[in-house]
Structure 1
């Protein structure tokens, strides 16, 4: 099973000490918004282990800060599931929904906005609490890139032109994997901000791209069986097979090598951060924020993703069957109009 492929991540896994409480309460928020309406949908959501994922992504967070992370993970996967049916093959329908959600970045939503949009608006409001305007602008930009990526995916499906180049696919998938907004929330959950003049530095940008790439490669391998079952063609394993004529096993082995090489580079980049602090003349508080960004934001999004993918029920056969059932898609569709 691809989900059992070992990538030998050289980063220790961490988990919030408040994870048991957060897991017990995780359904309250999506139920309150009408995003989960039935016991079957609730059971399916729990099998995904999204509270577990949040507690690994934000091991430094507890209480309301961890709850925000849990709600974000719940929202991410509920939103993503909306595109598993016909909507995900229609650029027009995809654009209509992503625009309705992204409108929350610009101000209050109309009452007629779909529940999934109101859910995002609630997260966005809480996400910006206590953060600087510069941070909110930067994070909003990342969210817009995320939503735009869904339209790109829908256009590929609509035109029946699956990606034939891993490089082209990576450029699109880096947005829809949602890693950058996930890392952004680590700052909010920890009540710190990486110095803005350092954020776009070569070293930090390279570290973040590695985190993104590792996440999407782990996800594509874990979700391979599920995506093959529903006829999805845009998966890195499949794309490598088309591009190079490789077998499935050869493609997975190549992805393992790519992850290993990227993580070796990541560790090297980490060792450069003291020099970055020196070049940008960071004061003591800024140096501490940069170190927290390394330990509480970028590292956990790599290790947390790895350990969650190996334990989550989202990618097992039963989950995939539930996702493809017409009743489940109708329930999701009714919540998105």
Structure 2
């Protein structure tokens, strides 16, 4: 994405006060699980600044709670990079890898499992610590949906099917990773939104907005990488295929982000009324507002992080022929 594009993210810039310590230590966890092998892989991972991303997603977190968020970001992106190779082109291969990770939601990993699976097992165990069965069920379903998206995308690539704008946003809303990220905000923050409130249409709409804003922003940032390797799951490229120039596509994506963040602010003003309608206790009202704040953080945090991250550097554009880490 060209530098200096104002995407109208009308939320304050925030970052954890513990970011420096987390940055200094953030390579330890992926290394301990065998996810980082080779100097070039380590260099790219460090340059992407995932500790800073977690510190923006969870700006109030410190210590072990922030470390959990950092480790999640490391896993997210290392796992995602796996599908830049043959696993992302073949639905059968993608399915095997996805199923091996999904099984962890039912039982812990074993020493015989691949590194990515063992690492996810550690994340899932730590994420569930202290959380209710209802939260665990919801979070597990979000993970299943997220993971299954890799298989669907591989099928699209194999068949050469470029989705429409609506199809792309619907798919990426579920697979951009926002829902597991915000689930973890509850765990890190020590609160839970009651499930009947979580399912309310207003909170659902706010979650959808956050996921779509991050999707649109991600597609702007990664378009050069993805265009170079023939990727079809990118909103800017979809808009161009529909007849937009690149400048027109960028402007349309800016408009889409603006309309969504403005709608988010309108919905947010109704949270007090939502809490009243459910007759929530003060503690549960606080949880609802903290959840909305977590949604703000994933939109603003992603935007601020991308300005400094090496994740989207064009030197990494060729599709790398890698297997699972």
Same fold (TM over 0.5): yes
Counterpart contact for 1:94–1:151, Cα < 8 Å: yes
| Match status 1:264 vs 2:298 | no
Q: 2:298 aligns with which of 290, 298, 301?
A: 301
Aligned equivalents of 2:169 and 2:41: distance in 1? Answer: 31
DSSP 3-state at the match of 2:317:
helix
* 2:307 match: 310
| Match status 1:282 vs 2:280 | yes
Q: Give the deviation of 1:113 after TM superposition.
A: 1.4
* 2:225 match: 226
Aligned equivalents of 1:236 and 1:320: distance in 2? Answer: 17
Q: Give the deviation of 1:320 after TM superposition.
A: 3.0
Aligned equivalents of 2:115 and 2:3: distance in 1? Answer: 32
Q: Give the deviation of 1:39 after TM superposition.
A: 2.1
| Match status 1:56 vs 2:56 | yes
Counterpart contact for 1:95–1:151, Cα < 8 Å: yes
| Match status 1:132 vs 2:140 | no
Aligned equivalents of 1:294 and 1:84: distance in 2? Answer: 33
Counterpart contact for 2:8–2:257, Cα < 8 Å: no
| Match status 1:246 vs 2:273 | no
Aligned equivalents of 1:189 and 1:3: distance in 2? Answer: 32
DSSP 3-state at the match of 2:11:
coil
Per-residue CA distance 1:139-188 (angstroms, 9 max, x = gap): 0000000011111100000111122x100111111122111000100001
Aligned equivalents of 2:316 and 2:226: distance in 1? Answer: 12
DSSP 3-state at the match of 2:37:
coil
Aligned equivalents of 1:319 and 1:5: distance in 2? Answer: 22
Q: Give the deviation of 1:319 after TM superposition.
A: 3.5
Q: Give the deviation of 1:9 after TM superposition.
A: 1.2
Q: Give the deviation of 1:3 after TM superposition.
A: 5.2
Report matched runs for 1:129-208 at 5 Å. Answer: 129-163=129-163, 165-208=164-207
What is the TM-score normalised by the length of structure 2?
A: 0.97
Aligned equivalents of 1:96 and 1:112: distance in 2? Answer: 15
Point out where structure 2 has 5 or more consecutive residues left out of the alignment.
Answer: none
* 2:113 match: 113
Point out where structure 1 has 5 or more consecutive residues left out of the alignment.
Answer: none
Counterpart contact for 1:26–1:71, Cα < 8 Å: yes
| Match status 1:25 vs 2:22 | no
For the aligned residue pairs, the C-alpha RMSD in angstroms reads 1.2
DSSP 3-state at the match of 2:137:
helix
Aligned equivalents of 1:216 and 1:309: distance in 2? Answer: 13
Aligned equivalents of 2:24 and 2:266: distance in 1? Answer: 39
